[in-house]
Amino acid sequence: MAVGVTFPRGFVAAGVTAGIKASGRPDVAIVAASQSVPAAAVFTRSATAAPPVIVSRAHIAEGTIRAIVISSGNANAATGTPGQRDAERMAALVAAGLGCKAEQVLVASTGVIGVPLPMHLVEPGIEQALAALSDAGGADAAVAITTTDAAPKLAERQVDTSLGSIRVGGIAKGAGMIRPDLGTMIAVLTTDAALDPSQTEDALRAAVERTFNCITVDGCTSTSDTVALLASGVCAGVLTSDDVILVNAAIQAVCEDLALQIVRDGEGAHRIAHWTVTGAKDAAEARTIAYAVAEAQLVRCALNGGDPNWGRIVAALGVTGCAVVAERIEITLGGHTLCREGMAVEHVDTAAVNVAAARETVEIGIDLGVGTGTASIWASDLSKLYVELNADYTT
């Protein structure tokens, strides 16, 4: 069945087991278009970006892309010149199999940092994936890019335009080391819309900023964050301005779907919070405050326990370095006001608040009363399982 990245027409995909992961789970994926197509990508801004990111940054500048190859179980990060050669070799092997230039292939790797990529396993894995490419391979590709994910992540949307039905699909991986900075973890998006290079770039950057860049699990930005969008143009014709708006909305919807799957799958996550900050000095400070509070360890612990302890939020607000006036702070949880003018509200319906704090998604609002800045993000809680998973990641 065509799902995820193969839901849009003009794409094939595969996910195979090369043996990179000791578990024996699938670990090499390829997503390919039927020809080189307009594409855009965003990457981590980490100063320790992995070789695949460096290679892909150079390749995306070529303008059109035929495919992306992804390996999981090894990040090929902090691997120096040999890692760079390995990433380039991965692109070259896929290009040879598809009959395109190596510069028209993007590369991504995810997993343990600082370990050389086992190319003696990766190379035959790529050959196997090339042979398995099909329009029914979207689900397999979604599985092959996972690491500590509890489940593969796929999403699809379809919109009716003046040119007919246009499809958007995507796959993503991520559960830990989630604190996006331009891109987050690994995500591949596809559409059969006839977007030109500029439209593809604009659509991706706008969608990422409103979705992947609005989530956090643990405040940790990866060395390997990559989000790519390929537009096959199978639904041919000139898009009207209204069509472009519809397609962009579908791309954003797929990104939001995948982003929320990631934050809900935060390693060991029990529940998530949707944080809304209003009344900040400006939008930048609102965003800074939202992340600072959502990533505060005591706040995350309270979220995990369903404890409506607004005092933890006040404490976190005091050290954001932003414009905060204690006497103007208002905090709501599930629509219930718990704190007003920096103090506890009398006569709160405690039972109703406890119910709201125990939901899978907890709505928390912070109004600072000092300006017009707003921001909204989603964040995971902090569980015992998260600590256990990350305490022995390499052992």
Whether 280 shows a pLDDT value over 60: the answer reads yes
- DSSP for 68-90 reads EEEEEEE---S-HHHHHHHHHHH
141-179 pLDDT, tens per residue? 999 999 878 899 999 999 999 999 999 999 999 765 545
Whether 386 shows a pLDDT value over 70: the answer reads no
Residue 47 burial (C-beta neighbours within 10 Å; 0-12, 13-18, 19+)? exposed
- Domains of the chain from N-terminus onward: 4-264 (3.60.70.12), 272-391 (3.10.20.340)
In sequence order, which residues have a C-beta less than 8 Å from that of residue 55 and are 6 or more positions away? 84, 87, 88, 91, 107
Residue 347 burial (C-beta neighbours within 10 Å; 0-12, 13-18, 19+)? exposed
How far apart (Å, rounded) are the C-alpha atoms in residues 329 and 339? 7
* Bridge partners, 365 (sequence order): 276, 332
359-381 pLDDT, tens per residue? 999 999 999 999 999 999 999 88
How far apart (Å, rounded) are the C-alpha atoms in residues 90 and 84? 10
What is the pLDDT confidence band of residue 333, given thresholds at 50, 70 and 90? very high
Provide mean pLDDT across the span 37-45. Answer: 94
Q: How many CB atoms lie within 10 A of CB 267?
A: 25
Q: Of 164, 183, 157, nearest to 253 (Cα)? A: 157
In sequence order, which residues have a C-beta less than 8 Å from that of residue 195 and are 6 or more positions away? 38, 203, 231, 233, 239, 244, 247
pLDDT at 179: 54
341-360 pLDDT, tens per residue? 999 999 999 999 999 999 99
pLDDT at 219: 59
Residue from 184, 221, 223, 226 carrying the catalytic annotation:
184
Question: The whole model's pTM is what?
Answer: 0.87
Residue 113 phi, psi dihedral angles, 5° rounding: -90, 145
What is the pLDDT confidence band of residue 268, given thresholds at 50, 70 and 90? low
- For the chain, give the percent of residues with pLDDT over 90: 81
pLDDT at 270: 77
What is the pLDDT confidence band of residue 384, given thresholds at 50, 70 and 90? confident
184 is catalytic: yes
Q: Of 267, 150, 269, 286, nearest to 214 (Cα)? A: 286
- For the chain, give the percent of residues with pLDDT over 70: 92
How far apart (Å, rounded) are the C-alpha atoms in residues 243 and 240? 5
Residue 131 burial (C-beta neighbours within 10 Å; 0-12, 13-18, 19+)? exposed
Q: Of 392, 348, 160, 357, nearest to 271 (Cα)? A: 357
57-96 pLDDT, tens per residue? 999 998 899 999 999 999 999 999 999 999 999 999 999 9
